Amino acid sequence: CAVIEMQDVWKEYPNGTQALNGISVQIQKGEFVYVVGPSGAGKSTFIKLMYREVRPTRGHIFVNGFNIERLKDHKIPLLRRSIGVVFQDFKLLPKLTAAENVAFALEVIGLSHKQIRKRVREVLTQVGLEDKMDMLPSQLSGGEQQRVAVARSLANNPAVIIADEPTGNLDPDTSWGIMRLFQHINDRGTTIVMATHNREIVNSMRRRVIAIENGMIVRDEEKGYYGYDE
Ligand code: ADP
Ligand code: ADP
């Protein structure tokens, strides 16, 4: 069944920019989907709609069974706990250690201290950072900081992980390490939707590719290619 569905979704920003023009798409449980396209095409908007960072001007959006346009504000945290989000610039809290950054995502859901400590260790081990749990972000490399962000996104055991250019600030070797991590997470059944400009990765991994241009889906292929020269 579809974990993400959009039906004729349009987005116009308050300044009049028409960012999305009639997007319809279904993403099934367990898929790994790349979202590609030129800068300004609407990729980030497409992704932000999924966790209700942005609201559609019209159209219907369903994510993990939540009806996004009808969702009451007090239910937004419930939606966001079912989705892990990873950003290009990591968005870690600079004064908190790796472990505290991950724990922060868990503290809202009423687990005991002991359960939080266990889960934090589990996910940081999963990303290979069990030895660096007490480091601050500034003491970690870019790749390690992104691993912390991936661990944080996993903390609540989400059905879907959404990533917006997660390798955009990383060198090629580090990017491959992060991609391998997403691959393992996907192998365990988590759906992954990732906007990326990394042609080499998209062309080697051969997963579903959705290309967006001028706010429209212009290509949607199983085992697709990056398909742009930049
Ligand atoms: P991409 O991620 O593909 O670069 P975006 O979704 O960020 O594309 O942007 C799509 C279009 O919407 C662009 O023209 C961009 O300038 C515009 N846009 C994005 N965010 C906003 C905003 N908050 N207000 C106004 N326009 C925006
Ligand atoms: P390791 O951390 O074990 O050295 P890498 O992170 O280098 O592994 O690579 C992870 C996966 O990505 C491996 O399956 C490897 O074959 C693949 N890979 C690494 N670099 C490239 C590349 N430039 N092109 C295609 N595949 C690559």
d(CA 184, CA 125): 13
pLDDT at 150 over 90: yes
Distance 30 CA to ligand 2 centre (A): 22
Cα–Cα dist 42/227, whole Å = 17
In the prediction, which pLDDT does 1 show?
Answer: 74
Q: Which atom of ligand 1 is least distant from the CA of 15?
A: 25
pLDDT (tens digit, 9 = 90+) per residue, 180-220? Answer: 999 999 999 999 999 999 999 999 999 999 999 999 999 99
> Residue 126, SS3?
helix
Helices 172-187/142-154 angle, 10° precision: 20
Residue entry with tokens 């349009």: 10
Question: What's the pTM?
Answer: 0.88
Which atom number of ligand 1 is nearest to the Cα of residue 39? 4
Q: Which residue has the CA at smallest separation from atom 17 of ligand 2? A: 176
- Is 214 within 8 Å of 39 (Cβ atoms)? no
For the sheet with 83-87, list strands across it: 83-87, 160-164, 191-195, 32-36, 208-213, 216-221
Tens digits of residue pLDDT in 49-77: 999 999 999 999 999 999 999 999 999 99
